Amino acid sequence: MPERKTTYEFGDMLIGDTVSFHAPTPEDVKRIARNASQYGLRTDRFYRCSTDRATRQTTVTRIR
C-alpha cells in the first residue's frame, strides 16, 4: 500500500523549527492549528501557532 503524502511538514520539524502557511480564512487558521495539535498529541510533540492578521500567515513552531 503506498504511503499517503502529508499536507503539513510537522514530522520533519526539529525543536525550534518554524513553518508558515497561507491562511486566508478563519477556518484555515483553525484547521492548521487543530492539525498541529492532533499531530503533536499522536507523536508526543508540542507546537505553537501564531497568525499575522495583516499577511494572513499562520506560523507553526515546534517547541518540544
Q: Are 62 and 46 in contact, with CB atoms under 8 Å apart?
A: yes
For residues 2-26, give the mean pLDDT: 90
All three cell numbers of 59, joined, read 506560523
pTM of the predicted model as reported, rounded to 2 decimal places: 0.88
Alpha-helical regions (H) of 1-64: 26-43
pLDDT tens per residue, range 22-46: 999 999 999 999 999 999 999 999 9
On the CB side of 35, CA atoms within 13 Å amount to 16
Q: Residue 29, Cβ neighbours under 10 Å: how many?
A: 19
pLDDT value of position 5 = 76
Taking alpha carbons only, the member of 43, 28, 57, 55 closest to residue 7 is 28
More confident residue, 41 or 7: 41
